[in-house]
Amino acid sequence: MFLWSIALQYLIYTICILLIDHHIRYKYLFAGVILISCILIGWVYSILGIFTALIAIGMLMLTFFFFSTSRQQLVYALPFGLLTSLLGDHLTSIDDFFVLKSSVIEPGDSLQYFHIVLSAFLSALLAFCLKKSLETWFHTVDRRMIGTIGTLILFTYYIIPVVLVNFNILKNISKFLQN
Protein backbone atom coordinates (compact mmCIF):
# COMPACT_ATOMS: atom_id res chain seq x y z
CA MET A 1 0.00 0.00 0.00
CA PHE A 2 1.36 3.41 -0.96
CA LEU A 3 1.05 6.22 1.59
CA TRP A 4 1.03 9.68 0.03
CA SER A 5 1.35 11.41 3.38
CA ILE A 6 4.69 9.75 4.11
CA ALA A 7 6.02 10.56 0.64
CA LEU A 8 4.96 14.19 1.06
CA GLN A 9 6.62 14.35 4.47
CA TYR A 10 9.87 13.17 2.87
CA LEU A 11 9.47 15.95 0.32
CA ILE A 12 8.98 18.45 3.16
CA TYR A 13 12.26 17.25 4.72
CA THR A 14 14.02 17.87 1.42
CA ILE A 15 12.51 21.32 0.97
CA CYS A 16 13.58 22.41 4.46
CA ILE A 17 17.14 21.28 3.85
CA LEU A 18 17.17 23.09 0.50
CA LEU A 19 15.87 26.28 2.12
CA ILE A 20 18.85 26.28 4.47
CA ASP A 21 21.43 25.29 1.83
CA HIS A 22 20.56 25.16 -1.86
CA HIS A 23 23.99 24.45 -3.38
CA ILE A 24 23.09 21.43 -5.52
CA ARG A 25 24.70 20.25 -8.73
CA TYR A 26 22.85 18.25 -11.39
CA LYS A 27 19.53 19.74 -10.32
CA TYR A 28 17.31 17.61 -12.59
CA LEU A 29 19.00 14.38 -11.57
CA PHE A 30 18.71 15.45 -7.93
CA ALA A 31 14.98 16.12 -8.36
CA GLY A 32 14.54 12.72 -10.01
CA VAL A 33 16.37 10.91 -7.21
CA ILE A 34 14.31 12.73 -4.57
CA LEU A 35 11.02 11.87 -6.32
CA ILE A 36 12.03 8.21 -6.63
CA SER A 37 13.00 8.25 -2.95
CA CYS A 38 9.61 9.74 -2.04
CA ILE A 39 7.82 6.94 -3.87
CA LEU A 40 10.07 4.31 -2.31
CA ILE A 41 9.54 5.66 1.21
CA GLY A 42 5.77 5.78 0.61
CA TRP A 43 5.76 2.05 -0.15
CA VAL A 44 8.31 0.93 2.43
CA TYR A 45 6.48 2.66 5.30
CA SER A 46 3.55 0.28 5.07
CA ILE A 47 5.98 -2.62 5.59
CA LEU A 48 8.48 -1.29 8.15
CA GLY A 49 6.44 1.36 9.96
CA ILE A 50 8.18 4.13 11.89
CA PHE A 51 11.56 2.45 11.38
CA THR A 52 11.33 3.85 7.85
CA ALA A 53 12.23 7.26 9.32
CA LEU A 54 15.80 6.06 9.86
CA ILE A 55 15.95 4.80 6.28
CA ALA A 56 14.60 8.14 5.05
CA ILE A 57 17.24 10.08 6.99
CA GLY A 58 19.96 7.83 5.57
CA MET A 59 18.63 8.28 2.04
CA LEU A 60 18.55 12.06 2.49
CA MET A 61 22.10 12.08 3.83
CA LEU A 62 23.41 10.08 0.89
CA THR A 63 21.46 12.06 -1.69
CA PHE A 64 22.65 15.40 -0.37
CA PHE A 65 26.19 14.09 0.06
CA PHE A 66 26.43 13.11 -3.61
CA PHE A 67 24.64 16.16 -5.05
CA SER A 68 25.83 18.96 -2.76
CA THR A 69 28.52 21.31 -4.03
CA SER A 70 29.45 22.50 -0.54
CA ARG A 71 29.89 19.76 2.03
CA GLN A 72 30.79 22.24 4.78
CA GLN A 73 27.35 23.83 4.53
CA LEU A 74 25.78 20.39 4.37
CA VAL A 75 27.14 19.69 7.87
CA TYR A 76 24.67 22.14 9.41
CA ALA A 77 21.96 22.22 6.73
CA LEU A 78 21.04 18.54 6.97
CA PRO A 79 20.41 18.25 10.73
CA PHE A 80 18.74 21.63 11.03
CA GLY A 81 16.62 21.04 7.92
CA LEU A 82 15.36 17.82 9.48
CA LEU A 83 14.85 19.48 12.86
CA THR A 84 12.85 22.38 11.42
CA SER A 85 10.60 19.99 9.52
CA LEU A 86 10.10 17.86 12.65
CA LEU A 87 9.36 20.94 14.74
CA GLY A 88 6.87 22.15 12.13
CA ASP A 89 5.18 18.76 12.22
CA HIS A 90 4.99 18.77 16.02
CA LEU A 91 3.58 22.31 16.10
CA THR A 92 0.95 21.19 13.61
CA SER A 93 0.14 18.19 15.81
CA ILE A 94 -0.38 20.53 18.76
CA ASP A 95 -2.65 22.64 16.56
CA ASP A 96 -4.56 19.50 15.53
CA PHE A 97 -5.08 18.63 19.17
CA PHE A 98 -6.53 22.02 20.06
CA VAL A 99 -8.60 22.56 16.92
CA LEU A 100 -9.71 19.05 16.00
CA LYS A 101 -9.67 17.56 19.52
CA SER A 102 -7.63 14.69 18.10
CA SER A 103 -4.12 13.90 19.26
CA VAL A 104 -3.10 11.79 16.25
CA ILE A 105 -4.05 11.92 12.59
CA GLU A 106 -3.48 8.51 11.09
CA PRO A 107 -2.24 7.97 7.52
CA GLY A 108 -5.38 7.46 5.49
CA ASP A 109 -7.46 9.93 7.52
CA SER A 110 -9.18 12.62 5.46
CA LEU A 111 -7.61 15.41 7.55
CA GLN A 112 -4.04 14.29 6.94
CA TYR A 113 -3.59 16.54 3.89
CA PHE A 114 -4.63 19.62 5.86
CA HIS A 115 -2.10 18.55 8.48
CA ILE A 116 0.61 18.10 5.83
CA VAL A 117 -0.03 21.49 4.19
CA LEU A 118 0.09 23.28 7.54
CA SER A 119 3.16 21.28 8.54
CA ALA A 120 4.91 22.17 5.27
CA PHE A 121 4.12 25.86 5.75
CA LEU A 122 5.38 25.93 9.34
CA SER A 123 8.47 23.87 8.50
CA ALA A 124 9.40 26.10 5.57
CA LEU A 125 8.86 29.20 7.69
CA LEU A 126 11.09 27.80 10.46
CA ALA A 127 13.80 26.79 7.96
CA PHE A 128 13.72 30.22 6.33
CA CYS A 129 13.97 31.94 9.73
CA LEU A 130 16.87 29.68 10.71
CA LYS A 131 18.70 30.49 7.47
CA LYS A 132 18.22 34.23 7.97
CA SER A 133 19.39 34.04 11.59
CA LEU A 134 22.49 32.09 10.54
CA GLU A 135 23.27 34.73 7.91
CA THR A 136 22.73 37.77 10.15
CA TRP A 137 23.47 36.88 13.76
CA PHE A 138 25.61 33.76 13.71
CA HIS A 139 27.83 34.44 10.70
CA THR A 140 31.00 34.33 12.83
CA VAL A 141 30.17 31.02 14.52
CA ASP A 142 31.81 27.92 13.07
CA ARG A 143 29.27 26.00 10.99
CA ARG A 144 30.74 22.66 12.03
CA MET A 145 29.94 23.47 15.64
CA ILE A 146 26.38 24.42 14.68
CA GLY A 147 26.08 21.20 12.66
CA THR A 148 27.39 19.11 15.54
CA ILE A 149 24.87 20.66 17.92
CA GLY A 150 22.07 20.03 15.41
CA THR A 151 23.16 16.43 14.91
CA LEU A 152 23.24 15.80 18.66
CA ILE A 153 19.77 17.28 19.07
CA LEU A 154 18.45 15.23 16.15
CA PHE A 155 20.12 12.08 17.44
CA THR A 156 18.81 12.36 20.99
CA TYR A 157 15.39 13.62 20.03
CA TYR A 158 14.46 11.49 17.06
CA ILE A 159 16.80 8.66 16.14
CA ILE A 160 17.39 7.11 19.56
CA PRO A 161 13.67 6.93 20.49
CA VAL A 162 12.78 5.33 17.14
CA VAL A 163 15.44 2.65 17.61
CA LEU A 164 14.47 2.06 21.25
CA VAL A 165 10.77 1.74 20.47
CA ASN A 166 11.21 -0.49 17.43
CA PHE A 167 13.49 -2.96 19.12
CA ASN A 168 11.40 -3.05 22.33
CA ILE A 169 14.41 -1.91 24.33
CA LEU A 170 12.30 0.38 26.50
CA LYS A 171 9.95 -2.49 27.32
CA ASN A 172 12.87 -4.71 28.32
CA ILE A 173 14.40 -1.94 30.43
CA SER A 174 11.11 -1.37 32.27
CA LYS A 175 10.77 -5.13 32.93
CA PHE A 176 14.33 -5.21 34.25
CA LEU A 177 13.71 -2.25 36.56
CA GLN A 178 10.49 -3.78 37.91
CA ASN A 179 12.29 -7.00 38.92
Whole-number Å distance between alpha carbons of 33 and 28: 9
Beta bridge partners, 68, equal 24
Per-10-residue mean pLDDT of the chain, 179 residues long, equals: 76 83 85 89 81 81 84 76 81 76 64 80 86 77 73 68 61 68
The pLDDT of residue 164: 61
pTM of the model: 0.70
C-alpha torsion 151→96→112→132, nearest 10? -40
80: CB partners within 8 A, 6+ apart: 20, 127, 130, 146, 147, 150
3-state secondary structure at position 164: helix
| 21, burial (CB in 10 Å: exposed 0-12, middle 13-18, buried 19+) | buried
